[in-house]
Amino acid sequence: MLKAGRTHLLTVSRITEHGLYLMDEEQNEVLLPNRYTSLTDRVGDSKEVFVYHDSEDRLVATTETPTIRVGEVAFLRVVDKSVHGAFLDWGLVGKDLFLPNRNQQGGILAGHSYIVYAYEDNITGRCVATNKLKSFIDNEIISVKVRDEVDVLVASESPIGFRVIINNRHWGMIYRNQLFRPIRVGDRAKGYVRRITDDGRIDVSLQQQGYAQVKDSVEVLRDLLRKHDGFLPINDNSDPQEVARLTQMSKKVFKRCVGVLLKSREIEQTEEGIKML
């Protein structure tokens, strides 16, 4: 069934002067306007498209990739406001995502960006946004486990670290003492679940733990050395903050990587730093 705010794989059913009509398995059709078609398109071709409502409340398809889909969170900029709500840039030309007044929490200002969740309105069927996240993001039934690789969106900053949204579903925390590169609200990244507490809190790291972390970091260190003509001005005795600044890894992980590369005789370590052999 064709639904707004989602990506569908559809089949070209007919070609008209207005564009391609695409059909799903239930014989429902939607128009893909001419600006998204080419002369090579043929009846029977498959097309992956995003479906949404146009200004006349009709379902329409696009080959553009939106920043957010139904069931997802994103950091979107407010491009306009009206008496009914705000309009967000979600990556579609000529069509903004509506954030109704009833879905707004706190002051919403044009030109500013906010963390929002997209869902299908059960009355209109439209894809709309909300920045009231409590009904959609929670840790009541946790779907991840320790060491899982997860997608994170940085949602807010506090003195102890950054609150993140995990896999569009859960709240998590990245603590400052686990950060070895700068991040800010709105950033997306791959993360790794470090700990899940008995009361449902999820701690996340941007680095893998244990052997897997060292294995990946060794390759990062190799690449850094190649990019810096085979030399980095840091060694086992360097300040941890300087190590983190240059390598985006902790001093502990850096020392383990140096040990691996020394053992394989790929580098040598001097008082000035480490150098590729």
The pLDDT of residue 208:
76
Predicted structure pTM score: 0.79
Residues 269 and 214 in one domain: yes
**Bridge partners, 52 (sequence order):** 60
The pLDDT of residue 214:
65
**Which uninterrupted H or E stretch holds 219?**
helix 210-227
The pLDDT of residue 209:
66
Which DSSP letter does residue 206 get?
A: S
Residue range of the domain that includes 187: 149-205
Residues 15 and 49 in one domain: yes
The pLDDT of residue 240:
87
135 occurs within a structural domain: no
Residues 38 and 23 in one domain: yes
How many structural domains are present in the chain? 4
The pLDDT of residue 114:
97
* Ranges of the chain whose pLDDT falls below 70: 209-215
For residues 110 and 131, the answer to whether their CB atoms sit within 8 Å is no
Last residue of a domain, which of 205, 221, 252?
205
Taking the CA atoms of residue 225, residue 226, residue 231 and residue 237 in that order, the dihedral angle to the nearest 10 degrees is 0
The pLDDT of residue 211:
52
In angstroms, the CA 99 to CA 102 distance is: 8
CATH number at residue 227: 1.10.10.10
In angstroms, the CA 13 to CA 27 distance is: 9
